[in-house]
Structure 1
């Protein structure tokens, strides 16, 4: 207890009037006469009656505490925070984890963690499935139908040309090989175009889902169509850059005729390609959402990824593992059933000459599995990329303020709870 002069004692205490060695009359008289004012120890101003209660006395009910309004963002947290006497900064007293943030759409408007990015991608696919799933279903179906036709007739031509019992000469074998390569390249180009179209439209759908807005297939197509040529150019440029990196690192071994040097160059190319792929992984959403050029989107991605490469790598790698596992559990059983049907029709001879895998049953069942897998996994991969882009801009450029204004949230921002200054 502080006995300094001029300090009011917080309420009466039984020991205050019975201090050992206190002068007579210091603690009060039998009639309850208060001690004289202006003494050397105690202040004349004492707390009002009823201000303090002894232990066991019932306490009056406390007024209800004011809670933050639903949907309010960081601006609703003033110096005292959402709980009386508690501070509202992340990790402050009385808080666990991150404070609530405005969530007009599928993600809260603040820096995101891994679970929120994955949940945002899945939530968009679940909430807007009428728009998302038809896009991926149509693209996957077209790609797989063409792929089945190419595999059926291309592999059949190769099997005939390589048959040791046939009388085909070298020219026929080369013609069959050339035709097969053309068909495979055409199939790859169709897959590339389908993937670009789906990625562009899904990017627009996810960007609107962040704001809590829906999007029809027609709206997504109209928004994505002007940027499709640039997205194609970006994809081809990245592919060409990757090929050039590999050729440059393999060139010394090829020129010197050394398999060891070529192998070292190939091993060095792998981590370099991974690093470049992650460095420019956000170029696609930057190009689509900022309506920028190819080179500008590459520079934007490089700046956004800088300092967060390992974090983006971890999220991207985990997403790849999840989608690969989902695809495997869908495709492999159907492929196994198709091979079993092919073996039942052609026997062991079909397994030896490779025709068991090129029959209609295994090709169709494998394609059905691929269609289902791509319909599910393509939105997840595109959604994670878009949300990583949004997350990096929130962290570096305070994009959450712009998104809040676009979503129509009022009084959102870090300074909305600041007291008014005199003017």
Structure 2
């Protein structure tokens, strides 16, 4: 039951999702460039946060729909016009509710619930309930904006993807796409001048010495240039990984676009999805992925998929010197020895192998599944990746593996 209700309708008749969608369209018509993605994000935030007051709805819209402070005046005006006639549930059910309020007029806010001032407190009442137009400084308003935006995401960041509702998963997928992706670096062969280099550039130092009468006052240094290291993502999309597979598609799309990574998925066969994820918007990209993976949510043949990857792409150098991330719970319906042999071959080519098993987050987890037990001896880093926070650990491991030398 929504908490923001109109004067003329009972609470059960208020449709917050439709109200939020209409507000996004109205704001776009007023000149604020509200994209469909931002409008959808606002509607999802309203459904998840269930704002109980007009100010709460105000901040949910402000942090999800706006891209700059210059848009605030237009936003305030449209917000007043759109939410006119709505009152706060707190005002209706509070212990000291005032007489029935009249609909909001243009330029007014719903009054904030006031309390008796304590001794030593300021006697100046706060008359504006919408923080965007009151007399408080920009610093406090910015802090409230950050808190409003972070409340829902912080609550969901540590939750296992398999325990989330479809609405929560929709929000988490957007959070996953916003994770910072930093390309892992590797040391190149060529030397380049650098202020913090570890090798003396004799020729450059001598050339500089001509300017100081032959005295090498300033030294020129060099060090090995850094180059991005390739990242290859191979994700299990079989039936046992269904609760996690769709979230990882969002991570893979971000990695393909930001890092130039290679993306593969498998259930009973291996499918390369780099091209499908590299272009177009999210909906278009995932529609192409669905068309390319007829074995989605099918059985699991890890050994067959890894062997095909090595035969078709490993010899071409795609895996050579790369950081390979395999996402799977290790439930193999084929021969586990095939998994072990494929991992052994992959370990000889790849720079670093990271295996992500979301099932390992459970307290009672033991790597007893046939495919998992066979693969684990050849894995360099083993992670869970079951939540947004766990994905942050995965991205940190990828960055650190870039310069790590193989033992």
Larger helix percent: 1
| TM-score > 0.5 by shorter chain | no
Tell me the TM-score normalised to structure 2 length: 0.20
Larger strand percent: 2
Tell me the TM-score normalised to structure 1 length: 0.19
Q: Which has the larger radius of gyration?
A: 1
